A and B are shown apart, each in its own frame.
Chain A
Amino acid sequence: DGGITQSPKYLFRKEGQNVTLSCEQNLNHDAMYWYRQDPGQGLRLIYYSQIVNDFQKGDIAEGYSVSREKKESFPLTVTSAQKNPTAFYLCASSNLAGGPYEQYFGPGTRLTVT
């Protein structure tokens, strides 16, 4: 089945540690995205990538880093510089050719930092 996988589903870390969230897609999509969601809130864009080896900052990129070495993979690292890292993280992908740019989402990773 085609889709997006995120792992792990739940992640616990101590403050001061970097942590990497995995995102893989087999939909052959060009674009991939990372969003953060806090309780009762909408999604906020962290980073996005249109093509391999290229990515752009979204609205809340500070304290996060990404890489796009393969079309299928777009891992997100939450660094110790991120002030409030505890949140629900969602990865998505979409085609870029001619719209309508529907985004497919993974199941999410819930990160708790104590």
Chain B
Amino acid sequence: DAKTTQPNSMESNEEEPVHLPCNHSTISGTDYIHWYRQLPSQGPEYVIHGLTSNVNNRMASLAIAEDRKSSTLILHRATLRDAAVYYCILMYTGGFKTIFGAGTRLFVKA
């Protein structure tokens, strides 16, 4: 099963951009790259996904490397409410056997 690697934690100042990296060197051609985030004692929340091209939505941007072996979630202006654990996940064929690693815990300083 395809696996991702993320830093354990990152810190950001409020109102500054945050770049959360993810390595997925064993990604296959049909894997979607998904990002979720989880606030304490809540279920994960979908943030963004992509396949090959960079993607933007109201929450964030996703930059995907040309070889697709890495990606970066970009929060353009971090707020205190963005403090959460961010998971980078590969989804394929229905998402079965999806692996949620430990994710990156983002700390945002006021």
Contacts and interface: CB of A to CB of B under 8 A. Distances in A.
Interface of A: 4, 31, 33, 35, 40-45, 48, 50, 56, 58-59, 88, 90, 92, 94, 96, 99-108, 110
Interface string B44-61: 111001010000000000
What size tier do the contact residues of chain B reach? 20 to 34
Most A-side CB within 10 Å, residue of B91, B96, B99:
B96
Interface stretch (B11-19, B66-74, B100-108): B100-108
A100 B32 contact: yes
Interface in B15-65: 32, 34, 36, 41-46, 49, 51
A31 B94 contact: yes
Contact of A50 (B34, B91, B94): B94
A108 B92 CA distance: 24
A45 B98 contact: yes
7 contacts: A40-B102, A42-B100, A42-B101, A101-B94, A104-B46, A105-B43, A106-B43
B98 A41 contact: no
A48 B94 CA distance: 11
A42 B102 contact: yes
B32 A101 contact: yes
B87 A102 contact: no
Nearest to A101: B95
Contacts of B36: 103
B97 interface: yes
Given A4-B43, A48-B96, A99-B32, 19 more contacts: A31-B94, A31-B96, A35-B100, A42-B100, A42-B101, A43-B87, A43-B100, A58-B97, A59-B97, A94-B94, A100-B91, A101-B32, A101-B34, A105-B43, A105-B45, A108-B41, A108-B42, A108-B43, A110-B41
